[in-house]
Amino acid sequence: MSEATEKRVRSRRLSGGGVKMVDVARLAGTSTQTVSRVLSRPELVADDTRKLVEQAIRELNYIPNSAARLLASSVSHIVAVIIPSLSATVYAQEVHHIVRVLEEHSFSVVIGHSDYSELREERLVQSFLERRPDGFILTGTQHTDLTRQLLRNSGVPVVETFDGDNAAMDMSVGFSNLEAGRKVAELFLSRGLTRIAYVGGRSDQDFRSNARFEGLQSRLAEAGLAPVARIELTLPMPAGDGVRGLDQVLAIDPLTQAIFFSADTLAISALLECNRRGMRVPEQLAICGFGNYDFADAIVPALTTVAVPFEQIGVLAANAILARLDGSVQGPSQTVVPLQLLRRGSA
Amino acid sequence: MSEATEKRVRSRRLSGGGVKMVDVARLAGTSTQTVSRVLSRPELVADDTRKLVEQAIRELNYIPNSAARLLASSVSHIVAVIIPSLSATVYAQEVHHIVRVLEEHSFSVVIGHSDYSELREERLVQSFLERRPDGFILTGTQHTDLTRQLLRNSGVPVVETFDGDNAAMDMSVGFSNLEAGRKVAELFLSRGLTRIAYVGGRSDQDFRSNARFEGLQSRLAEAGLAPVARIELTLPMPAGDGVRGLDQVLAIDPLTQAIFFSADTLAISALLECNRRGMRVPEQLAICGFGNYDFADAIVPALTTVAVPFEQIGVLAANAILARLDGSVQGPSQTVVPLQLLRRGSA
DNA sequence: TTGTACGCGTTATCAG
DNA sequence: CTGATAACGCGTACAA
């Protein structure tokens, strides 16, 4: 390989044009230290020197190397986010707002899918830890022991989201899934409905859905109702699974009066299927969803559902990390955001 | 600060427990080089030594520092992905599959939102470049000059997605938006519809929507039809905007026979609104969407739409980066994935 | 198959 | 306000 070729390859890999801080310093006639200061704490540099440096930076198209910065300063400006899947609107929404907030504070977000598996989450944590993130945002409070140990050991701020019922390792921003279930139970009870079913994710995959079921179940039991039928779907659940859930419920009890679906996607597809079959909603079958997604109030009848403030969760989670990093907040914290039952046409 | 406290703080920030390769080497009784080899090319190490090292790694909970690795090897194992917004299902889906594929190859994905702005994209590129990513995946082919220059200069593989009509800077994986428009025009023509409207994003924001409009318009013009009415909505467009688009179209021409919406979300909400108003679809008004989202075929009448293989786009984009990185593919490339018009009930 | 010496690009420390 | 020097933790090249 000729020297020229080698140089080209090298600079390509470096992908910074090969220009580094020394080059800027040389051109500006200062030391690298001053360049560094202009970049991180410009107020400490004399105006003239600063302008000289800034000029040199532009001229050379200098792009700092964050790896070198991390190595020297042990601050990565990275926040690692692990969610079950980006194809579920819920999590996509949450991440959207996390990214939005963190971008404003010049943090980068690296993202990973646990695919609803604690083990995959563990592997991701392990691999993300190599990047020395300044914060972690996880989903739920269910993790392997190793995950907990790794995280605790690393000392990185951790926010667990979507679960306000269980204790968090560090910080948490979530809502009470138990309460969601109870709210829906109340609704059904207030309408005098007694033959009730629940459709959600598999109990070994979706722990937060479990809590919603528990809430529903326990409140109904308090009212003296028989245990509700429960259908467990394998995650991820495409919208069409709502129809399958509906069919399984009706197979168990054709006279079922109400179904609580663990996600609006399921509820909507079930409701539309009822329309198609001529089953009257809510008279013949009441349907309640969870999440208040797009179209929940556009379909006919409009979907009764539990509104979850996904945006707020994302924003608060990001802020929790930021607050811990800038030192304005110190200890653990547990934030529970409110849910709202939206009574519309379907239940 | 006591020495102990100082040490604790330090190790917290390092978030790797402070254990480094030398520590592992020391415990295993080898050199760091051997540890390094065990991590990257285990086959070059004798079985016994390897086991010793692996044992030491476990015992110390050693977590490699990717910044140091990058600094020494100039490989970051990071791919930067920039999309307009994660709250649009399209992009969330695409990213989902990008992440899925890249995770399998132990690449991390950092993600950013351009918010449909070239300038914000430019700033993101600038900031991501500091991390020396091994690849970039962008959306569309519309970028600022600086973005192009920065990217070209860096030598990083770049994939532009969602636009198969325009020339790419390096590689591209997309579909023809022009063709999408033409396909829909054909459909309307075949049904003898002549008063046609288009509802999409603002022309200065959504360039790919522009192309769909062009395709529609030009094909209709070829058939001798008058220019179609065009409604421009400001991005991001919540689903409810479909109704606003519908209203604006009807305000311009109450006798409009067909509308092509630039996204299914808009089309679905408009269609449901038509149902509510008692406007018969497609007899009175034909509706065609774009994207084939969830519920497109669950509503009544089922939505006629253009199916876009978002998953395939994500997978191909990720693979394009990977192929370039492992050297199996060298030059630029332009991949166009096929679209499919799904004729269903609404048009 | 393993070890040694050095460089990667930046920031912290401390002196001036 | 600025500069010299020493880390930061790992991979590469080369030698053994």
In tens, the pLDDT along A215-263 reads 999 999 999 998 999 999 999 999 999 999 999 999 999 999 999 999 9
Residues 13-52 of chain B within 7 A of strand C, judged by CB, are 29-34, 37, 44-46, 48-50
Going from the C-alpha of A205 to that of each of A47, A318, B242, the distances in angstroms are 59, 25, 36
Q: Would the CB atoms of A300 and B275 count as touching at under 8 Å?
A: yes
Query: A36 beta carbon < 7 A from strand C?
Result: yes
Cα dihedral B251/B256/B261/B267 (nearest 10) = 90
- Which band of pLDDT confidence, cut at 50, 70 and 90, is reported for residue B141? very high
A292-327 per-position pLDDT tens digit: 998 999 999 999 999 999 999 999 999 999 999 998
Task: Please report the pLDDT score of residue B45 as a whole number.
Answer: 83
Q: Does B68 touch chain A (CB under 8 A)?
A: yes
Residue nearest to nucleotide D6 (CA to C1'): A72
Task: Please report the pLDDT score of residue B17 as a whole number.
Answer: 55
Strand partners, B247: none
Please, how many CA atoms are within 13 Å of residue A338, restricted to the half-sphere of its CB? 3
- Of all residues in chain A, the one with the smallest CA distance to B126 is A63
Task: Give me B301's structure tokens.
Answer: 């009448």
Q: Would the CB atoms of A129 and B75 count as touching at under 8 Å?
A: no
Q: Does B156 touch chain A (CB under 8 A)?
A: yes
Residue A71 CA and nucleotide D10 C1' are separated, in Å, by: 10
**Nearest 5°: phi and psi at A209?**
-65, -40
pLDDT for A3 beyond 80: no
Q: Would the CB atoms of A112 and B128 count as touching at under 8 Å?
A: no
Task: Please report the pLDDT score of residue B42 as a whole number.
Answer: 85
Compute the average pLDDT of residues B292-296: 93
Chain A CB contacts of B75 under 8 Å are 13
**The domain A177-307 is classified under which CATH number: 3.40.50.20, 3.30.470.30, 3.40.50.2300, 3.40.50.720?**
3.40.50.2300
> Within the 101-120 window of chain B, which residues sit less than 8 Å (CB to CB) from chain A?
103, 106, 108-113
Closest CA to A292 of A89, A102, A53: A89
CA A48 – CA A42 distance, rounded (Å): 11
Compute the average pLDDT of residues A14-26: 76
Instruction: Lay out the sheet containing B78-83: strands in order across.
Output: A333-336, A171-174, A158-161, A135-139, A78-83, A108-113, B108-113, B78-83, B135-139, B158-161, B171-174, B333-336
Percent of residues, chain A, with pLDDT higher than 90: 88
**Nearest 5°: phi and psi at B271?**
-65, -45
Q: Would the CB atoms of B130 and A272 count as touching at under 8 Å?
A: no
Compute the average pLDDT of residues A285-291: 98
Same fold, B78-175+311-338 and B177-307: yes
Helices (H) and strands (E) in chain A, counts: 13, 12
Classify domain A78-175+311-338 by CATH number: 3.40.50.2300
Q: pTM to 2 decimals?
A: 0.93
Nucleotides of strand D lying closer than 7 angstroms to a protein CB: 1-5, 7-13
Mutate: best of B14, B76, B86, B344, partner A, most A CBs <10 A: B86
pLDDT for B9 beyond 60: no
* Beta-sheet pairing, A108-113 with B108-113: antiparallel
Q: Does A14 touch chain B (CB under 8 A)?
A: yes
pLDDT for A12 beyond 50: no
Handedness of CA A197, A199, A202, A204 (dihedral sign): negative
> Within the 314-343 window of chain A, which residues sit less than 8 Å (CB to CB) from chain B?
none
- Which band of pLDDT confidence, cut at 50, 70 and 90, is reported for residue B49? confident
Burial of B323 (0-12, 13-18, 19+ CB in 10 A): middle
Tell me the nearest-neighbour CA distance from A202 into chain B, angstroms.
22
pLDDT for B18 beyond 90: no
pLDDT for A16 beyond 80: no
Class of CATH domain B3-64: mainly alpha
Compute the average pLDDT of residues A258-272: 97
pLDDT for B170 beyond 70: yes
CA A239 – CA A245 distance, rounded (Å): 10
pLDDT for B152 beyond 90: yes
Q: Would the CB atoms of A109 and B111 count as touching at under 8 Å?
A: yes
Cα dihedral B135/B140/B143/B149 (nearest 10) = 30
Average model confidence (pLDDT) across chain A:
92
Going from the C-alpha of B295 to that of each of A296, A303, B272, B291, the distances in angstroms are 11, 14, 12, 11
Please report, for chain A, the start and end positions of each structural domain, with discontinuous segments joined by +.
Answer: 3-64, 78-175+311-338, 177-307
- Of all residues in chain A, the one with the smallest CA distance to B16 is A154
Q: Would the CB atoms of B96 and A87 count as touching at under 8 Å?
A: yes
Residue with tokens 């790919």: B208
Task: Please report the pLDDT score of residue B48 as a whole number.
Answer: 85
A&B contacts, CB < 8 Å: 192
Q: Would the CB atoms of A76 and B67 count as touching at under 8 Å?
A: yes
pLDDT for B176 beyond 70: yes
B265-290 per-position pLDDT tens digit: 999 999 999 999 999 999 999 999 99
Tell me the nearest-neighbour CA distance from B227 into chain A, angstroms.
31
Q: Nearest Cβ partner of A154 from B17, B269, B294?
A: B17
CA B262 – CA B200 distance, rounded (Å): 5
Task: Please report the pLDDT score of residue B156 as a whole number.
Answer: 95
Q: Would the CB atoms of A156 and B15 count as touching at under 8 Å?
A: yes
Mutate: best of B131, B147, B274, B321, partner A, most A CBs <10 A: B131
Give the H/E segment covering residue A127: helix A118-129
Q: How far is CA A236 from the centre of its chain?
A: 15
Task: Please report the pLDDT score of residue B12 as a whole number.
Answer: 35
Tell me the nearest-neighbour CA distance from A317 into chain B, angstroms.
17
Task: Please report the pLDDT score of residue B46 as a whole number.
Answer: 85
Task: Please report the pLDDT score of residue A17 as a whole number.
Answer: 57
Q: What are the helix (H) ranges across chain B? A: 3-14, 21-28, 32-40, 47-60, 66-73, 89-104, 118-129, 145-154, 177-190, 207-222, 241-252, 264-277, 310-325
